Chain A
Amino acid sequence: MNKIILKKKSRHGKRVIPGFGISMGVTMTMMSLIILIPMASIIICTAGLSFHDFIEIVTARDVVSGYKVSLSCALIAALINCVFGVILAWVLVRYEFPGKRILDGLVELPFALPTAVAGISLTSLYSDKGWIGSIFANAGIKIAYTKIGITIAMIFIGIPFVVRSIQPVLEKLDKQYEEASYLLGASGARTFFKVVFPEILPAMLTGFGLALARGIGEYGSVVFIAGNIPYKTQIAPLLIMSKLEQFKYTDATAIALVLLMISFSVLLINNGVQLYMNKITNNN
């Protein structure tokens, strides 16, 4: 009976639950006012720029080096986070030990801690006079105000993305497969890489993509430790900032547009990989 009514209604193009018009209206209005219209300003602003000028702005030496610094550091940080993210997720899901809950809560700290606070704390810790920085300074390695420092700040903000992506998958994973693998005589390492790892790989890649995208755009926690030495440690978001301070709005917008395209491609590739992975697992 219910089904018949439902079918009848949907054939007439009507929806059973009331309120579609108003909720769609509110959603679209808020979305347009806060996201779409302001975002369109980027297009409007770059549209006033000839293609030649645009290319000239975004291929200037300082701009290219800014993209390179942001991308390379974010990539290295995301890779390091994958390694530690898997270890942390594994430890938090599979082992019982005192203080585990605190450790679990601590992973979330970079989400809750304002980036500027993280930035100045990390800078003071890793500068030549800081607790950790001074040890490395004796060995002749500078951390703060170099790319190493930038990478460390990006590791800091990226780690929760990887851990929190892997954790739920690992929790759901049936232990029987591992036990079967052990019983069939596989070693611990082999079991991990052949049985567990393929299961958590898609989640790890999601975390990797999120951490990478966040790292590329990150400003607050990186700007202090970067030191902003032109051509060396100037990150792309900072370039936008300094162009704005010089009132070069079109330059800032052009740089932003390229940065946007980079971030969106990272997320698109990430989504593509997810779809591909899902297909493979579904086919099996």
Chain B
Amino acid sequence: MSQTNKIAKKKDINQGSKVIKVILITVSILFLFIMLIMPMAVLVTYALRNGWEAYKKAIFDPYTIKALWLTLTATFAAVLVNTVFGLFAAWTITKFKFRGKQLLTTLIDIPFAISPVIAGLVFILTFGRIGWAYDYMKAIDIKIVFAVPGIILATIFVTFPFISRELIPVLNAQGTDEEEAAALMGASGFKIFRKITFPHIKWALLYGIVLCTARAMGEFGAVSVISGHLRGKTNTLPLDVEILYNEFKLSSAFAVSSILVIMAVIILILRNIIEYKAKRAGE
């Protein structure tokens, strides 16, 4: 009797959990549908609202091409600088013991904590007309605020922690034994890095680069503060979207957005491939 009761109860639980499963999956799908899929559907509809020709015209507009070029330049610079920094910072933090390590780790994360608008603001306060570095920069004839270097700097700033953050946990988990052994056998620092450390962090580095690219190409707030919105000169793709939108050229704005969406989708696919490969390499 008690046996059958128990079985009945277990069936109940199974039945109940099946209902819950269906409910939870439905809730999840609904949530993602409303929050993520519908905005994308809106984007595609609006972009193609005035037909294929209008879409092509918006995309091949010379200003759009120039904006795309600037976005790619800034993204490339950010990835390059942050890769160098990420490698050095992760190596320093995980392979050596020194005082203030915790502080250093926290400082690297600053860009995560602050508003992108403030990230742009700090460069205006440094290099702008009221900035303390304005006269020095003028003396060597470099314009930073409302010019391309400022956009690149702001993009580097907001993506600064992305790569080191991916590398540090991997290197921490790996420990320092292998490097110490290599050092005792007389290998140079660079050789240790190339032969021992790098193979461990290959995938994490690629992963960090992908994340950094995603953020850099889409950065809006920081770049918006410092760019001055000169079309064809200091306008990145996201800023171009804003200008078109504010001029009520909705379908052009969405057409230009679609370029960014395609880039985002490529990044997501790359991210998944890297994650998959890294998992397989780990097994």
Residue of B nearest to A224 (CB): B245
* Contact B121 A18, beta carbon cutoff 8 Å: no
* Contact A113 B88, beta carbon cutoff 8 Å: no
Q: Does B76 contact A (CB under 8 A)?
A: no
* Contact A217 B118, beta carbon cutoff 8 Å: yes
Q: Does B108 contact A (CB under 8 A)?
A: yes
Q: Please give, as numbers and ranges, the residues of chain B lying within 8 Å of A30 by CB-CB distance.
A: 81, 84-85, 88-89
Instruction: Point out the residue from A91, A155, A159, A220 that lies within 8 Å of B116, measured CB to CB.
Output: A220
Q: Does A49 contact B (CB under 8 A)?
A: no
Answer whether A41 and B92 are a contact pair too, CB < 8 Å, given A120-B241, A252-B121.
no
Q: Please give, as numbers and ranges, the residues of chain A lying within 8 Å of B136 by CB-CB distance.
A: none
Answer whether A253 and B220 are a contact pair too, CB < 8 Å, given A95-B24, A108-B268, A112-B267.
no
Q: Please give, as numbers and ranges, the residues of chain B lying within 8 Å of A112 by CB-CB distance.
A: 214, 218, 264-265, 267-268, 271
Q: Please give, as numbers and ranges, the residues of chain B lying within 8 Å of A24 by CB-CB distance.
A: 92, 96, 98
Q: How far apart sit A219 and B242, CA to CA, in the bound complex (Å)?
A: 12
Instruction: Point out the residue from B113, B180, B211 that lies within 8 Å of A213, measured CB to CB.
Output: B113
| 1/0 contact string of B10-25 vs chain A (CB within 8 Å) | 0001001100110011
Number of B residues with CB within 8 Å of any CB on chain A:
98
* Contact B241 A116, beta carbon cutoff 8 Å: yes
Q: Please give, as numbers and ranges, the residues of chain A lying within 8 Å of B116 by CB-CB distance.
A: 217, 219-220, 237
Q: How far apart sit A26 and B46, CA to CA, in the bound complex (Å)?
A: 48
Residue of A nearest to B218 (CB): A114
Q: Please give, as numbers and ranges, the residues of chain A lying within 8 Å of B211 by CB-CB distance.
A: 111
* Contact A38 B157, beta carbon cutoff 8 Å: yes
* Contact B221 A237, beta carbon cutoff 8 Å: yes
* Contact A34 B160, beta carbon cutoff 8 Å: yes
| 1/0 contact string of A1-43 vs chain B (CB within 8 Å) | 0100110000000011111101110110011001111110110
Q: How far apart sit A90 and B24, CA to CA, in the bound complex (Å)?
A: 9
* Contact B92 A27, beta carbon cutoff 8 Å: yes
* Contact A113 B115, beta carbon cutoff 8 Å: no
Q: Does A103 contact B (CB under 8 A)?
A: yes
Q: How far apart sit A113 and B98, CA to CA, in the bound complex (Å)?
A: 39
* Contact B121 A159, beta carbon cutoff 8 Å: no
* Contact B118 A113, beta carbon cutoff 8 Å: no
* Contact B260 A113, beta carbon cutoff 8 Å: yes
* Contact B122 A111, beta carbon cutoff 8 Å: no
Q: Please give, as numbers and ranges, the residues of chain B lying within 8 Å of A169 by CB-CB distance.
A: none
Q: How far apart sit A15 and B184, CA to CA, in the bound complex (Å)?
A: 11
Q: How far apart sit A155 and B108, CA to CA, in the bound complex (Å)?
A: 26
Q: How far apart sit A262 and B183, CA to CA, in the bound complex (Å)?
A: 45
Instruction: Point out the residue from B36, B88, B122 that lies within 8 Å of A156, measured CB to CB.
Output: B36
Answer whether A240 and B92 are a contact pair too, CB < 8 Å, given A41-B126, A42-B122.
no
Q: How far apart sit A42 and B110, CA to CA, in the bound complex (Å)?
A: 14
Query: Which residues of A (191-226) have their CB < 8 Å from a CB of B?
Result: 213, 216-220, 224
Q: Please give, as numbers and ranges, the residues of chain B lying within 8 Å of A187 by CB-CB distance.
A: 13
* Contact B24 A107, beta carbon cutoff 8 Å: no
Q: Is chain A's interface secondary structure helix, strand, loop, or mixed overall?
A: helix
Query: Which residues of A (145-195) have their CB < 8 Å from a CB of B?
Result: 152, 155-156, 159, 182, 187-188
* Contact A106 B34, beta carbon cutoff 8 Å: no
Q: Does A140 contact B (CB under 8 A)?
A: no
Query: Which residues of B (224-262) have their CB < 8 Å from a CB of A?
Result: 224-225, 237-239, 241-242, 245, 250, 253-254, 257, 260-261
* Contact A114 B113, beta carbon cutoff 8 Å: no
Q: Does A65 contact B (CB under 8 A)?
A: no
Interface pick from A55-63, A124-132, A276-284 = A124-132
* Contact B95 A17, beta carbon cutoff 8 Å: yes
Q: Does A227 contact B (CB under 8 A)?
A: no
Answer whether A87 and B39 are a contact pair too, CB < 8 Å, given A35-B111, A114-B260, A132-B34.
no
Q: Does B1 contact A (CB under 8 A)?
A: no
Q: Please give, as numbers and ranges, the residues of chain B lying within 8 Å of A36 by CB-CB distance.
A: 107
Q: Does A269 contact B (CB under 8 A)?
A: no
* Contact B38 A131, beta carbon cutoff 8 Å: yes
Query: Which residues of B (125-142) have their CB < 8 Å from a CB of A?
Result: 125-126, 128, 130-132
Answer whether A106 and B257 are a contact pair too, CB < 8 Å, given A31-B108, A120-B245, A220-B220.
no
Closest Cβ of chain A to B276, distance in Å, is 10
Instruction: Point out the residue from B40, B225, B239, B271 that lies within 8 Å of A244, measured CB to CB.
Output: B225
Q: How far apart sit A67 and B160, CA to CA, in the bound complex (Å)?
A: 26
Q: Find the residue from B239, B241, B253 having the highest chain A CB count within 10 A.
A: B241
A-B contact pairs, 5 of them (CB 8 A): A26-B88, A30-B89, A116-B218, A120-B253, A216-B115
Beyond the given pairs A42-B121, A91-B28, A152-B35, 6 more chain A to chain B contacts, judged by CB atoms under 8 angstroms and listed by A's residue number, are A18-B192, A31-B108, A35-B108, A38-B122, A125-B42, A156-B36
Give B residues with C-beta under 8 Å from A. Answer: 13, 16-17, 20-21, 24-25, 27-29, 31-32, 34-40, 42-43, 46, 81, 84-85, 88-89, 91-92, 95-98, 104, 107-108, 110-118, 121-126, 128, 130-132, 153, 156-157, 160, 176, 179-181, 183-184, 188-190, 192-193, 211, 214-215, 217-221, 224-225, 237-239, 241-242, 245, 250, 253-254, 257, 260-261, 264-265, 267-268, 271-272
List 5 tightest A-B contacts by C-beta distance, closest first: A114-B218, A217-B115, A19-B189, A220-B220, A219-B221
